[in-house]
Amino acid sequence: MELRPITYDMPKVPSARTLEVMGGLLDKKMSMTSLSQSLRGLSNPYERDKGQEDTIFDLFKIPGKNEASIGRLLSVLKSFGLREKDPRMLPLMTKLHAIEKEEEERNNEQQEQKHWKLSREQFKECISGCVDLISTALQNDLVIPCWQHFVETIKQIFNECAEETGGQVADYIPQLARQSPKQWGMAICTVDGQRVSLGDSKVAFCVQSVSKAFNYAIAASDLGADVVHSYVGQEPSGRFFNEICLDSKNKPHNPMVNSGAIIVTSLIKNKLDMADRFEHVLTEYRRIAGGEYIGFNNATFLSERSTADRNYALAYYMKENHCFPPETKSLTDALDFYFQLCSIEGTCESLSVMAATLANGGVCPITYEKCIDSHPCRDVLSLMYSCGMYDASGQFSFTVGLPAKSGVSGVMIVVIPNVMGICLWSPSLDKLGNSVRGVAFCKKLVSMFNFHNYDCLLHTVNNKIDPRRRDLRERDRSLPVLYVARSGDLVAMRRLYMQDVDLSTSDYDKRTALHVAASEGNLPMIKFLVNVAKVKVDTMDRWGRTPLDDANFFKHPECARFIEKALRRPLGRTDSVSSVETDDDDSEDGLPKAIFSIDHPYG
């Protein structure tokens, strides 16, 4: 079931208007009205004289110079959750390092990225290969718009769960028994590639039973779900995950119990030899993980094989009932392959991308590569929802309401369809074999955010946060501008402007947002309204008072001086975002600190 609620749709293709607004950098020879009219007549938002690269360059341009700060661009993208090592950013970083090398050879010195100043041509060359991603980020059209606030909440939940001390580490093989119960890692990857990692997120561990979900997806994508389910069912078994039993049709109950997982692995490329089969699955895992770390732990494999009496008993029982495909000639090879796949290694970071690929309909969010067919992706999420948490699957789906899969190494992946994938890892397990901290994290997550599968029902009353909301987008688009002006929330005012809300609107006393900002002495708000929104500066209220009168009356001399200067300014002049929202002395290393974030606290 799609979890993202019905909202006012913002185009995934970046609009020219939004990009121009974000920079406050309209062509000085063209008025706001004429540009807007010309853009509305275009079928393609990119078919205009001024390219995306030029617009982004102007947004990060250093005042008074024909140079832009690439370091500021990278910082802004990072604030939206996008990493420099993101594969989609590779064209930018490759060209940037090439320019860096040229500069080093020429000047024999190296500068930090934050100090790099590039010419217009250099800047445009760097961003040209990933301009769509940059544009989408700058207009804040990512799935979690208030990323920084979301991350703060996630950190709070993570730290609270770190205090959980119950459970025991699995000890049936030495490699698991040596894991420390203090280890605790978490990583999130959204369907737009926004990422956050906490704790032991880069520590490698074996995926164990989490492999069952991806093995099923690989087999079903290769053979089709009908073929796979001719050998294995879909029903929760109601029995222990490694119990020696079959369903009424003499098939394993589902692919998430040991018997079903063994059958599924026996279906994967079973006409190839063992080496090629393993290489195939490892390659598929790496594609699903977007090239992030995927390895193999041979010691774990050997230990699993040496303690496999129960699984051998299961295999012989299934052979007796003709459960295996005809290509399976050796039970030892079939089980070895199963143990090998359980011994594949990953990290919270790599498995979060794998989970996000499931959340994104089988398309890896950081490479855009189609890794899993859409129907198998849907089917594996259904199986994870009903059978993914061992003998606690029903309770987990009831309380958390999300597809998940756990493993005895302490790993859990959780999928929020169309939003994100989460990987949690902590070796301490509860009595049912699930990570104590991982389960606690999920419960806290859905108690705070409306991620439960059925939180989106109509007429549901709750106070949960929906981090997918653009706060003002779901409210009345005629939200009182005066209230935002009075609250001093420049971020919200910027959003209203980008939504084409008329910022010159007035109340019954004919007082505008500029009147209010002048009365409150809010100079940044005044600058935005005058320089960017182009509201009339000399508007009178019902008593004949102008914003200048209010600034003088309430003794705000700086605001009064700015409004007086604006009244004398020639028509058609447009200031850059740096002069609009930055004081002259608010700088670092000669670069003005323009305000780029359009995040807004949850309300």
Q: What is the mean pLDDT of residues 481-499?
A: 80
Closest C-alpha among 287, 319, 145, 108 to residue 214: 287
Residues 184 and 322 occupy one common structural domain: yes
The answer to pTM > 0.85 is no
Any alpha helices (H) in 9-89, and if so which ranges? 16-23, 32-40, 52-59, 70-79
**d(C-alpha 132, C-alpha 296), whole Å:** 36
Read off the CATH number of the domain in which 405 is found.
3.40.710.10
Token reading at 602: 């949850």
Residues 505 and 441 occupy one common structural domain: no
Provide the 3-class DSSP secondary structure of residue 399.
helix
Segment 375-409, tens digit of pLDDT: 999 999 999 999 999 999 999 999 999 999 999 99
Identify the pLDDT of residue 470: 58
Please tell me which residue, 117 or 443, carries the higher pLDDT value: 443
Residues 205 and 315 occupy one common structural domain: yes
Say whether pLDDT at 507 is over 80: no
Question: Model confidence at 33, in pLDDT bands (50, 70, 90)?
Answer: very low
**d(C-alpha 133, C-alpha 136), whole Å:** 5
Q: What is the mean pLDDT of residues 510-521?
A: 91
3-state SS track over 452-466: CCCCCCCCCCCCCEC
Identify the pLDDT of residue 582: 45
Specify the pairing of strand 344-346 against strand 295-296.
Answer: antiparallel
Q: What is the mean pLDDT of residues 19-41?
A: 36
Reading across the β-sheet that carries 185-190, which strands appear in turn?
195-199, 185-190, 420-425, 411-416, 404-406
Name the domain count of the chain: 3
Neighbours of 52 (CB within 10 A): 21
Least-confidence region, from 15-19, 196-200, 491-495: 15-19
Identify the pLDDT of residue 273: 94
Read off the CATH number of the domain in which 109 is found.
1.10.238.210
515-539 per-residue burial string, b: 16 or more CB within 10 A, e: under 16: bbbbbbbbbbbbbbbbbbbbbebeb
Q: Mark which of 428, 448, 468 sits at the end of a domain.
A: 448
Q: Within a domain: residue 453?
A: no
Residues 100 and 153 occupy one common structural domain: no
Those residues whose C-beta lies under 8 Å from the C-beta of residue 393, and which sit 6 or more positions away, are 236, 386, 387
Q: What is the mean pLDDT of residues 459-484?
A: 64
Q: What is the mean pLDDT of residues 290-311?
A: 95
Q: Within a domain: residue 473?
A: no
Q: Within a domain: residue 580?
A: yes
Q: What is the mean pLDDT of residues 248-277?
A: 95
Q: Give me the phi and psi of 474, to 5 degrees please.
A: -90, -5
Closest C-alpha among 327, 346, 351 to residue 267: 327
Say whether pLDDT at 20 is over 50: no
Least-confidence region, from 106-115, 469-478, 533-542: 469-478
The position carrying tokens 């198998």 is 376
Q: Give me the phi and psi of 75, to 5 degrees please.
A: -65, -40
Residues 130 and 170 occupy one common structural domain: no
Segment 277-299, tens digit of pLDDT: 999 999 999 999 999 999 999 99
**DSSP letter assigned to residue 529:** I
Read off the CATH number of the domain in which 547 is found.
1.25.40.20
Nearest-5° angle of CA 58, CA 61, CA 63?
120
Say whether pLDDT at 115 is over 70: no
Cα 160 to chain center, whole Å?
22
Residues 443 and 489 occupy one common structural domain: no
Identify the pLDDT of residue 135: 87
**d(C-alpha 108, C-alpha 102), whole Å:** 10
Distances (CA, A) of 201 to 112, 196, 197, 303: 27, 10, 6, 25
- The radius of gyration computed from the CA coordinates of the chain, to the nearest angstrom, equals 29
Residues 67 and 188 occupy one common structural domain: no
**d(C-alpha 270, C-alpha 279), whole Å:** 13
Q: Within a domain: residue 474?
A: no
Q: Within a domain: residue 435?
A: yes
Q: Within a domain: residue 78?
A: yes
Segment 439-462, tens digit of pLDDT: 999 999 999 999 999 988 877 777
Say whether pLDDT at 276 is over 90: yes
Q: Within a domain: residue 529?
A: yes
Those residues whose C-beta lies under 8 Å from the C-beta of residue 483, and which sit 6 or more positions away, are none
Residue 545: half-sphere exposure toward Cβ, Cα within 13 Å:
17
Neighbours of 95 (CB within 10 A): 17
Segment 321-362, tens digit of pLDDT: 999 999 998 999 999 999 999 999 999 999 999 999 999 999
Those residues whose C-beta lies under 8 Å from the C-beta of residue 466, and which sit 6 or more positions away, are 5, 449, 450
Q: What whole-number percentage of the chain has pLDDT above 90?
A: 62
User: Which range in 40-44, 107-111, 531-535 is most confidently predicted, on average pLDDT?
Assistant: 531-535
> What kind and span of H or E run contains 563?
helix 557-568
Mean of the per-residue pLDDT values of the chain: 83
Say whether pLDDT at 472 is over 90: no
Residues 351 and 280 occupy one common structural domain: yes
Segment 531-589, tens digit of pLDDT: 988 999 999 988 889 999 999 999 999 999 999 999 987 654 444 333 444 444 343 34
Residues 318 and 228 occupy one common structural domain: yes
**d(C-alpha 527, C-alpha 243), whole Å:** 70
Identify the pLDDT of residue 263: 96
**Long-range CB contacts (< 8 A, 24+ apart) of 364-368?**
364/287, 364/288, 364/289, 364/290, 365/189, 365/190, 365/191, 365/192, 365/193, 365/290, 366/86, 366/87, 366/88, 366/189, 366/193, 366/290, 367/87, 367/88, 367/287, 367/290, 367/291, 368/88
**d(C-alpha 355, C-alpha 406), whole Å:** 12
Q: Mark which of 433, 448, 463 sits at the end of a domain.
A: 448
Is-contact 219 285, C-beta < 8 A? no
User: Which range in 28-32, 60-64, 193-197, 470-474 is most confidently predicted, on average pLDDT?
Assistant: 193-197
Distances (CA, A) of 127 to 221, 409, 593: 35, 41, 21
Any alpha helices (H) in 477-556, and if so which ranges? 481-487, 490-498, 513-520, 523-527, 547-553
Q: What is the mean pLDDT of residues 359-378?
A: 96
Residues 108 and 160 occupy one common structural domain: no
Residues 167 and 285 occupy one common structural domain: yes
Q: Within a domain: residue 3?
A: no
**d(C-alpha 124, C-alpha 131), whole Å:** 9
Say whether pLDDT at 56 is over 90: no
Residues 265 and 402 occupy one common structural domain: yes
Least-confidence region, from 300-309, 466-475, 592-601: 592-601
Least-confidence region, from 29-33, 183-187, 291-295, 511-515: 29-33
Residue 196 β-bridge partners: 188
Single-letter residue type at 413: I
Q: What is the mean pLDDT of residues 60-81?
A: 88
> What kind and span of H or E run contains 274?
helix 274-288
Identify the pLDDT of residue 111: 56
Sign of the CA dihedral with 573 first, then 576, 581, and 582 last: negative
Domain interval for residue 525? 481-592
Q: Mark which of 138, 160, 175 sits at the end of a domain.
A: 138
Closest C-alpha among 227, 220, 486, 263 to residue 377: 220
